Structure 1
């Protein structure tokens, strides 16, 4: 065999091997997805039906139970969260809603490139506008009035525990459809002084009831800060350190947040911060909580924890906001809670 023929033979063989490997990976991924969507004994009852954001006394969430409605936005009665679920046709990675306005973050893996987008929803879960996302969906919130929506994506890296990651946080005025693509354009006051740095990142927006004030996490110089911001003023001011994924209480006096308990690790504890005194109260949950908690009411928080023995699955848990009591599982196979 000549040198040229040998090279052509090796090239063709390599192409065939790579094609076979790629096909095998696709089939394996499809088989895993198919098995994940098969209902198992003990799974909750999930039925398709009409879901709206104006249903009183219901709790909306992203359904994680196996079956055809997996990742669909669903609801349960707030007084019976373990009961049967009503699932919509809308599927999301992250979801939140308030005052009849919803935001759904979607992510579709592609052959060459992953497609990510944010959907602004009306009260019947119909898409009003679609916005392309610059990265993988991470957090989503809507202001109490429904006036503003916010989302955070990972531009690189896959989690806040990654050594190197970058986030992009956007705020949308749902009335004017004016989009602030990145909070990094806002002016920053750190420790009472104007601050500028190339490594500034924001994530985890939560809104106050005045349709202007918000809180978020600022990361810079290997530190995280709770910041108070103004949408109209396009500015943020640091309040205290080591605060991530804040969530403002309905009465506007406290912020629930995850606190890194060991430097440079992915271990967090859930705390509540009194905004008047900056006093921190550790909650009864002892597991590491990598989520932006949701206030079910002024006294109770809900958050997602990984399901034991189920890769890629989570359950919703609740815990008193004053540090007393003990955690209890709220909804099995669920994430992204939003009280309606």
Structure 2
């Protein structure tokens, strides 16, 4: 069933992109219970399985029914384009217990046995304590499962935003939505998210929309967030197929002879826009070396750069793309 979001002119002026480390954390928690969705993330799962086994994630899983209501308060829409986990978890901790109880009761009712379970009854009996404990559990999940990999995840999410921001300028909002996901359809000032559970609608009322790329949401598109939260659509980020893939040494020998091995490796690693830290991690090089290679490649007209938030993202020019596309 579809989810409908109704826009007016002021809403179109208030659409923005943002990324959310808290969203990635709760989706990583959800992914542990969905073996059919591991797919692209099996390398990550192998790395975190031991640490995750030491966490009792039952309270969070009770609030994550497949095909049912999921509480907004444990993962509200991002506060800004580059909100930190600390900022986001502070919002969770500040949640009104009465509103949180309503949210939890709704989710538990959609979870088979949730309302009757000891953990569910404990949450509803003392929602203030439940909010604190859920926030603590999310924070621990972040520290063990997501934070060690956040530079890599953040680089991919920021590259997605940079790409789609450029496409917005090139093709406009309507065409952009179809490129973000085929499950987003635009007609008559209405955004429809197809394939969601239930038939819902919301008038944006001047709040605009937050578009949030996600690594762990794949292959779903999540639309919604009830008042008072700003409406948001979470969609799978571009490039997750290669997220956990290490460099395979496919740099063409001819290109390495022309540019030098280090610079050629950096050029070939830029299949998507990326920053210095992400490239250093991907290529197992010192950030200072990668920075020097990037400067040289940009000076030669093979790369362009743009600042996004706290870092500079590099992208191949048409000439750089042509050189990197040579057969190994």
Which of the five TM-score ranges fits, normalised by the shorter chain? Answer: under 0.3
| TM-score computed with the length of structure 1 as normaliser | 0.23
Structure number with higher strand proportion: 1
| TM-score computed with the length of structure 2 as normaliser | 0.24
Relative contact order higher in (CA < 8 Å, ≥ 6 apart): 2
